[in-house]
Each structure stands twice: as structure tokens, then as C-alpha cells.
Chain A
Amino acid sequence: MNQLHSFQAVPSTRNAFDAYSTLPEPPRPQSTHAPRAHTQQPIVTGTSVLGIKYEGGVMLAADNLASYGSLARFKDIQRLHPLGDNTCLAVAGDMSDFQYMTKLLDATLRADRSVSLTDTHPPFSPQNIYTYLSNLYYARRSKVNPLWNAILVGGWDKEKKESFLAYVDLLGTTYSAPTLATGIGAHIAQPLLREAYEAKAGVDGKGPLLTGQEAEELLDTCMKVLFYRDARSLNKYQIATISNDGVKISDSKSSETEWGFAEGLRGYGPQTQ
């Protein structure tokens, strides 16, 4: 339906020159006196990101790829960004907007931290950071000059001793749920995440949550399935674990994959007919 919300490059026109939609570049305006153009589409993009609450906090997952249209352009990009001691972002969509936004947030947090040296007031909670992000993204969409991202905010609230997981995107749309996935992950991974989460916690979420190990294995599975099915993904990803102990971002890792079955598929490998 709405192509705007998937972060595979969406070209403005389909034509013979770009029949497979590989180019993310917009057509240049003919006139040099055109009004100042705002971002109308992402350029260098990251694909979907995942998040889940587990018994001691939150885990986020994002792969290391930044694509240029269909080109796997940068293959060692970290899309998990820690903020302070107990919050982490997982960011999909435009990578330059991602970098701009993190610079802004880092500055805001640094300013707050330096003031807190004088009054010992606790730093921003995950909820505070999320509120700020939501306002930023809604304000930019309201100027019709969006920051082209979908973001998961994972955190551990040290005051309330509870985990935090929420979503915000380029429209300023916000929501929270115990499992979250953006873009194509909302279609492919979210059902797997919900199934596993509800199997233990129940539909009301009142039962026990997944353990840290179970949650990580679940994210491994989801990242593998996404790698099989999402053409803009990479089998190299990281997992952020946010708990009372702080934010831990894993080294990049890969899933074991099996492509033997593909030999029998038409369209994979050398054509036989």
C-alpha cells in the first residue's frame, strides 16, 4: 500500500533506463530557480530493525548494511546508537538523517549532563529521550521536511526499574509494544516475535518474559529469516542489550544459512532453460 514506509529505495519514476528501480536519485528539477526542495526520498538507507523486551531489559537488532538503492554500498555501518547509560536507538531509513539526528541528541544529552553536575538531577530517562525524538520527528514532518527514519528506542528506566521499548518514524507516528519491528520486518519478523513472546508471557503479557538467552536466539532467527527474504539486508548484524547494567552492543555476527534448496529454483544460479 503505502510505499513511503518501506525503506527500500523507491524511485520517483519507473522507466526503461531504470527498469529495476535500482537508482535512488530523484530526477533533477529542470529549472535552476525551483523552490528549495526538501527531502522527498531517502538516499543511503538501512533496512528494518527489531526490538523485544526480555526479563531483564530490552534487546535491539540491526544489520550492518547501508544501501544505495539496490547497491549494497556500505557493509560495516553500525545502526545501533547508545545514548547515555540506559538508552539505545536502532535506526532504519536514511543514514545521513540518522547521523544528523544522533549528533543533535548527543549534544542535548551532553548539555543536560553538564548541568546535572551542579544539581545531581538524574539524566534523561529512555522515556524523556523518546519524547524528544517524537517531537523532533513530528516537527520535521509538519514542516514537510521529514527526517526519513523509523526508530526503535530501547531502554532501562533506572528510577522505575522497568524496561522501555517504543517506535517513532518520519511521520511522527509513535507507539509502544513488547515486540517491535520496522519496515519489512513488521511483516516478516514481527509475527515471529509476537508468537514467541506470547508463548511465554501469554496474550495479556502477564506471564514470565523470555530470558536473555531466549530473546537473543529469537532475534538471531528473525535476522536470519530477514536475510533470506529481504533483498536489502546483510548477513552481518549486531544486537544491543539494554539492562540495569547499561547498554552492551555485540560484535557483528552472522547466521548460518543454507542455500542448497535454491539450486532447484528457477531464477537462482545459471538458467537451465
Chain B
Amino acid sequence: MALFAPPPMYADPTMAADKQHAFNPYSENGGSILAIAGADFTVIAGDTRQSEGYSIQTRYARKVWQLTDRCVIATNGFAADGNNFVKRIKQRLEWYEHAHQKQMSIKAIARLTQTMLYGNRFFPYFAYVILGGIDEDGTGAVYSFDPIGSYEREACRAAGAAQSLIQPFLDNQIYFRNQTPAPGAEPFVPGRLPLSTVLGLVIDSFTSATEREIAVGDGLELYVVMKKGRTTDDLVGSDNLIKNMQVQELGALGEGGSERTFLVSLPLKRD
């Protein structure tokens, strides 16, 4: 992930004086994204603040997008690159549907994402991409990418301005790093936590990141993709975790009657 480190945000002004002044086609628009896979669901989330340096450009800009009935994409980094990358990938998915009369699997979308990112190897999309969804076996899946297309499937991934705050927390809570099972207890297996626990982790990650990272805040959009036939009671039925939290089911994009996607939105602090 360090292959493409962003330029330092607050450059020393004395350095600018003796440098050739050239057009810089990149910017960095803050925010953070995060995805966690469960056994039969995936949660993928992003905050809605878009900023540049110390300025908040808008308090509501989307970073997470539904691609198919079983795949959601999140981008972070340079917003213009992220938005245009999503737009291009949606185009490719439409042509795939024209040709095959079905939606692309998350595994295939992941490989497509790699090809498209690496295709811009020498003028990269400055976008960290995370895919979340349900794979062909009905298991929750998360794929994470660097801006030039290196990717792997994981149980969870955080990216963006608060990556350094959130990822260690997830390493501990999802991968059970630095935890030891009680003597005689079952060994830990990542990717098997219940939805309510995962939702709590995601929301805590973002509220905490909002406290300590100026580029994160304003609002949280959290997509839950559920396996075909899975109960939705633990999301829509329960007395929800936080007030002001809204849950809405997104209609099927394809034939329907299979995987279901929900959008959970809640406010984050605006300061």
C-alpha cells in the first residue's frame, strides 16, 4: 500500500520558491472507508465528508456505491479519480450484462478492477478501492486494492485518512491479533462474527476516527449485503444500536429474489 504514498498534505512553502511550478493533476480529498466480511454478509462503509487540506468541500459526498445485487464498491483518495473509476467500472458491468444476461460475480469484478487500475499504471487513478459483497459460495467477501491494482481477498480492510487509526483496531477485533483464547477454548476464526457485533465495530471505528482525524466526519453510509435467504431481523427487526440511524433496503438491480442490500445511514460529528 505504500507504493503510492500521497504527497505530504502541508508542503513547506519555502520549498515551493525554487521548484519549477507544474500542474499537479492530483488532489487528496480525505475521508475513510472500511469493509468487514461475515459468514453470510458483508458490511462496507464510508464517511460522507469530502475535504481538501483544512477546507470541508461538502458534508455529503458518496464514497460507496452499489454495483450489483452482490457487490458494493468504495473508493478513497482523489475523489475525481474515484468517481470516474466507479463510473467506468459500471459501464463495463453493463456491457457484461448485455453479453451474458447476468450480473458479474464479485470475484470477476475484483479481477476487472485490477486490470482497469493497472491499465493506468503510468498515470494511476489515485484511488484506494475496496470491494465488498457475497461470493459465488454465499460467503461474505472483501477485496482491497492499491491504486495500481495490487489486490487480495481479506476478512476486513480500512483505507483512507483514518486507515492508521482503524486498521489496528480491526486487526485486534477481527483477526484477534494479540488475543489468546482461554485455555481449552475454541481457536479464533476471523470472518465469523455476528452482524450486530460487526455493525458495532464499524460504527465505533468511524465515531472514533471522527474524534481524532479532521478529514473524517459529517455522516456515515454503511452498506450491508446479505446472502440469499439470510434473515434480516438482526438488522431491520432489532431496536437499532443508535438513534438517528436509518435503515433502507435498496431494490434489486438485477432479477431480484436473491442477495439483499441495505443502506444504513447515521450522522457523525461535524466539527
> A residues near B, CB below 8 A?
1-5, 10-14, 38-41, 138, 141-142, 144, 146, 167, 171-177, 186-187, 190, 203
Contacts and interface: CB of A to CB of B under 8 A. Distances in A.
Contacts of A172: 80, 84
28 contacts: A1-B9, A1-B11, A1-B53, A2-B11, A2-B24, A3-B21, A4-B24, A12-B20, A13-B17, A14-B17, A39-B23, A40-B23, A41-B23, A167-B57, A171-B27, A172-B80, A172-B84, A173-B52, A173-B78, A173-B79, A175-B57, A175-B61, A176-B58, A177-B57, A177-B58, A177-B60, A186-B57, A203-B270
B95 interface: no
Contacts of A190: 55
Nearest to B79: A173
B16 interface: yes
Contact of A5 (B52, B58, B79): B52
A13 B19 CA distance: 7
Given A4-B24, A12-B21, A146-B25, 8 more contacts: A1-B10, A2-B27, A5-B27, A13-B21, A38-B23, A171-B80, A172-B80, A174-B80
Interface hub of A10, A13, A171, A203 (most chain B Cβ within 10 A): A171
Contacts of A5: 27, 52
A5 B131 CA distance: 32
A182 to B, nearest CB: 10
B250 to A, nearest CB: 21
A165 B24 CA distance: 26
Nearest to A40: B23
B80 A144 contact: no
Interface string B2-29: 0000000111000011101111111101
Interface hub of B20, B23, B59 (most chain A Cβ within 10 A): B23
B50 interface: yes
A174 B83 contact: yes
Contacts of A40: 21-23
Nearest to B16: A3
Contacts of A13: 17-18, 21
A176 B59 CA distance: 9
B17 A141 contact: no
Contacts of B78: 171, 173
Nearest to B23: A40
B58 A187 contact: no
A190 B54 CA distance: 13
A150 to B, nearest CB: 11
Contacts of B80: 138, 141, 171-174
A190 B26 CA distance: 23
A171 B80 CA distance: 7
A176 B18 CA distance: 36
Nearest to B25: A141
Contacts of B83: 174
Contacts of B59: 177
Complex A-B, nearest 3 residue pairs according to Cβ-Cβ distance, in ascending order: A172-B80, A175-B58, A12-B21
B16 A171 contact: no
B53 A2 contact: yes
A191 B78 CA distance: 24
A263 to B, nearest CB: 32
A192 to B, nearest CB: 14
Interface in B32-67: 50, 52-55, 57-61
Contacts of B9: 1
B27 A173 contact: yes
A173 B20 CA distance: 24
A172 B79 CA distance: 9
Contacts of A177: 57-60
B261 to A, nearest CB: 24
Contacts of A203: 270
A171 B61 contact: no
